[in-house]
Structure 1
Amino acid sequence: MSEAPTVDLPVTAAPKLPPTPGVPSVLVQAAFVLARRPTTDWLSRRYGRCLTVKIPVFGNTIVVSDPALTKQIFTTSPDVLYNIQPNLSRLLGAGSVFALDGVEHRVRRKLLTPPFHGKSIKAYEQIVVEETLREVRSWPQGTEFATLEPMMRITLNIILRAIFGADGYELERLRDLIPRWVTLGSRLAVLPAPKRELPWTPWGKLAEFRREYEVLVDTLISRAQQDPDFEDRTDVLSLFLRSSYEDGSKMTRGEVGDELLTLLAAGHETTASTLAWAFERVSRHPEVLRRLVAEAEADDNTYRQATIFEVQRNRTVIDFSGRHVAVQAYELGEWIVPQGYSVMIGLNQLHENPEMFPDPQRFDPQRFLDARPNTFAWVPFGGGTRRCIGAAFANMEMDVVLRTVLRNFTIATTTAPGEKWHSRGVAFTPKKGGRVVVHRRNASTLEG
């Protein structure tokens, strides 16, 4: 890991911290554990868009929901602001990009980016269509059902096929293993890790899942490398195995495994959650649904993209993006934040800022057609050098899944109140699973 650079501020610069809540710290910490999102909403309304709190796991933290300060954080050198500590690498492994900072992070990210941009993404669209059609064949007609679990299966199967390129015993095991790992890992991610992973504890169970994953992926790596057509394979695993740094070195097997687990874990839960919210939202907004249906019959996706963006704003699945102050003093706006502090951007509070999004509780895709929002007011994938590598892939997935469903099913509208939030630990999903009623458009065929 590279050393922190010399800072511009004097070493003796005294900390100048944002205001702290006028309630006992222990109550704030308990509220974060029990109800993170409403607690952050309340603190933002009561004490402003930049405040100092102490949070379990992350310690002394600056919570920000101001677009100008968000811009500063996301454009600050990654040598000044490291990834938040602790981060998801404690679950995903030390070889994951989440664990890296400075130069190591930059060169790894450059190595990981190619499979998730441009022509590479276009090549995966047919997989999205196929997996969506395979799942929707079993959807009940005229009976309300939850869309979250079907979306979880669709997005998991998509990312498995994109990563490994084929089916087989190992992929079947991963289809069973990954959802259990993600569900448990999401809950543990916001809790302190024990010093020992005792077998009968949740952390011990997570470690057991991890060991099984490593055996399966090691087999798949060996099989890929022994494939006579290895050099021509386009799956993500093969692309990772063939890629090399500028000095000619490659990722180790362990690092490849950690990066693949990162993609499997992060690459399906958040996308599936957003899709479940999309069905929940459009079923309650008939005019939005009417426009989506009309557009799905053509090749355009302008309004569908605006709808996806508005779902990500109106029902933000991931509520924080965090950093860690690596230098001795970091000047954030008018404040001076000392080394070791966490800096967290409240994405939900950014997305509900009435100055950026008038009447923020209203679901209205038109706002993304009339004018694009401030770049640092709408950040569902985070920002800066740590913006989600798979953002473009996830956007393509959501677009194609929605198009495929709309072409094959009529979604019934409802006057029922919107579903409440449910915390899965890391992600927030519809409490009832995004329930809808659908009817097949053509009983004999399903079209992509």
Structure 2
Amino acid sequence: MATASTEAVRLPPALQLPTALQGLAFLAARRSLVAALARRHGTMFTLDLPGFGRTVVIGDPELISDLFGTSRALLGRAHLNLGKVFGPGSMFNLNGEEHLNRRRLLAPPFHSAHVVQHRRIFEEEVLRESANWPEGQEFQTLPAMTRILLRGLLRSMLGADGPAVDELCALLPSAVSLGARIGLLPPIVRNDFGAWSPGARLHRYRSHFDAAVRALVVKARADPALAERTDVLAILLQTRYDNGESMPEAHIADELLGLLAAGYETTAATLSWAVERLRRRPQLLSRLTAEADAGGSEWRQATIWEVQRTRPVGDIVQRRAMTRIRLGDWVIPEGTTLMINIRLAHSSEDCFPGAEYFDPGRFIGTGRKPAGWIPYGGGFQRCIGATFANMAMDVTLRTLLQEFRLVPTDAPGERASDHGVVFAPSRGGLAVVHRRTVVVEKQPQTTPGQMGRS
């Protein structure tokens, strides 16, 4: 792990970007640019970026693993992140012990024992959304996956349904899109400069969201069965810090917004990529269908992991050095932004031999995943909803395989398109489906290992 250091600063090679590629323009062009820089200068280099300051880009899995093993006393949140959009009570704004205490409070509803109780919700949403899918006609899966994930997360997190979910489904996509576009701009952009200014629109969205959450809080507190509920809101209303204090309701709203915004688009885009990949691999598609019919899950899980590796929907994890630290051969000064590049790590031949190929079999029978697999980040700031997201993807993919026959294609693969928050298939993850005429008897889920490699 990285350690505190009093040695003289020794940074990786410093590169000078053209003015047009600095700052936020770098974020827009980062995928192709970072790949080009890595080919020429290796997987660790230093940039000076307006807004980010001195920034060390890291793509070496071993060094990333060391960094993720570093304590919260040495690393913190990067100054420039979307926490300001989510609100002061969001974990995206917390560091050190404050972050630790909040994460402990949030952890129970995201434990696997709780997460499994929400599987039925996502199966219902898949069936609801796919009921009127056109058969034999090409359509985009990304909008459909987005609706499945958003409604499923709202029901699971808020314990709500009906009009309350409908209202937030109409509100959140526009709010999240706007917040993603202006969240990393200077704070003045978020000010209210008139009814149609971006800041004013963002404030209106947030006011509507807070009002909806307050109404749900009032309803939950009046629910005589509150103690038996498994939704995230109900659990947060009942949990307490070690000193006996509860989380302020304003902070609950901030956390719910952050969890929803960070969760539904990323998971939906990954599922759309899964469709895009499977249509070009008919043998794997047949195998997954047979496995789903038999109640298995090993190859489906491996496929999800390989989709996340080869088509990461996010490619940057940020940290900030809280003090001078030693990382490998380098000594990083306090205040430096550490920009961990997921795509570089996922392309490591040391971790993933034949990394350029899509091969779910690399995860079959291997035990733990390699250190270079980091779609959820890592360390004490690893995505708290990772288990939840994996469950939602598994249930959605299984249900679709059991309900539909996905028509293969020999069309070129879709490119990644920047949607502001995520990188999604450029054509929306196109699919052609036919409803299966044979009704599959739902089988209980089996443990990994039921299906071997072939």
Using the size of structure 1 for normalisation, the TM-score is 0.93
Q: Match for residue 212 of structure 1?
A: 208
Q: What aligned pairs does 1:155-170 form with structure 2 within 5 A after superposition?
A: 155-170=149-164
Q: Percent identity?
A: 43
Contact 2:351/2:370 (8 A) holds in 1: no
Question: 304-313 or 438-447: which moved more?
Answer: 438-447
Q: Match for residue 418 of structure 2?
A: 423
Q: Match for residue 318 of structure 1?
A: 314
Match of 2:283 among 287, 291, 310: 287
Contact 2:22/2:50 (8 A) holds in 1: no
Q: Tell me which amino acid in the other structure corresponds to 2:284.
A: V
The count of corresponding residues between Structure 1 and Structure 2 is 439
Q: Match for residue 84 of structure 2?
A: 90
Q: Match for residue 414 of structure 1?
A: 409
Deviation at 1:30, TM superposition (A): 6.9
SS at match of 2:308: helix
| CA deviation vs aligned residue, 1:42-94 (integer Å, no higher than 9, x gap) | 11111111100123432210000001110111011111100111222111111
Deviation at 1:445, TM superposition (A): 9.5
C-alpha distance in 2 between matches for 1:445 and 1:371: 30
Q: What aligned pairs does 1:20-99 form with structure 2 within 5 A after superposition?
A: 20-21=14-15, 23-24=17-18, 27-29=21-23, 32-99=26-93
Q: Match for residue 232 of structure 2?
A: 236
SS at match of 1:268: helix
Q: Match for residue 330 of structure 2?
A: 335
Using the size of structure 2 for normalisation, the TM-score is 0.92
Q: Match for residue 439 of structure 1?
A: 434
| CA deviation vs aligned residue, 1:303-335 (integer Å, no higher than 9, x gap) | 0000000000010011011101111x1111111
SS at match of 2:14: coil
Gaps of 5+ in 1: 1-6
C-alpha distance in 1 between matches for 2:339 and 2:413: 28
Contact 1:159/1:264 (8 A) holds in 2: yes
C-alpha distance in 2 between matches for 1:336 and 1:445: 58
Deviation at 1:381, TM superposition (A): 0.5
C-alpha distance in 1 between matches for 2:44 and 2:110: 34
Cα 1:418/1:355, change in 2 over 3 Å: same
Q: Tell me which amino acid in the other structure corresponds to 1:191.
A: L
C-alpha distance in 2 between matches for 1:315 and 1:112: 29
C-alpha distance in 1 between matches for 2:136 and 2:20: 49
C-alpha distance in 2 between matches for 1:30 and 1:240: 36
Cα 1:245/1:81, change in 2 over 3 Å: same
| CA deviation vs aligned residue, 1:144-195 (integer Å, no higher than 9, x gap) | 0000000000001111110122324332211100111122222334434326
Cα 1:446/1:159, change in 2 over 3 Å: farther
Contact 1:189/1:425 (8 A) holds in 2: no
Q: Tell me which amino acid in the other structure corresponds to 2:159.
A: G
Deviation at 1:273, TM superposition (A): 0.5
Gaps of 5+ in 2: 444-454
C-alpha distance in 1 between matches for 2:379 and 2:27: 28
Q: Tell me which amino acid in the other structure corresponds to 1:156.
A: L
C-alpha distance in 2 between matches for 1:27 and 1:145: 35
Deviation at 1:22, TM superposition (A): 5.5
Contact 2:4/2:326 (8 A) holds in 1: no
Q: Tell me which amino acid in the other structure corresponds to 1:39.
A: L
For the aligned residue pairs, the C-alpha RMSD in angstroms reads 2.0
Q: Is the counterpart of residue 305 in structure 1 residue 301 in structure 2?
A: yes
C-alpha distance in 2 between matches for 1:31 and 1:373: 37
Q: Tell me which amino acid in the other structure corresponds to 2:371.
A: F
Q: Is the counterpart of residue 101 in structure 1 residue 86 in structure 2?
A: no
Q: Tell me which amino acid in the other structure corresponds to 2:245.
A: S
Q: Tell me which amino acid in the other structure corresponds to 2:347.
A: E
Q: Match for residue 187 of structure 1?
A: 181
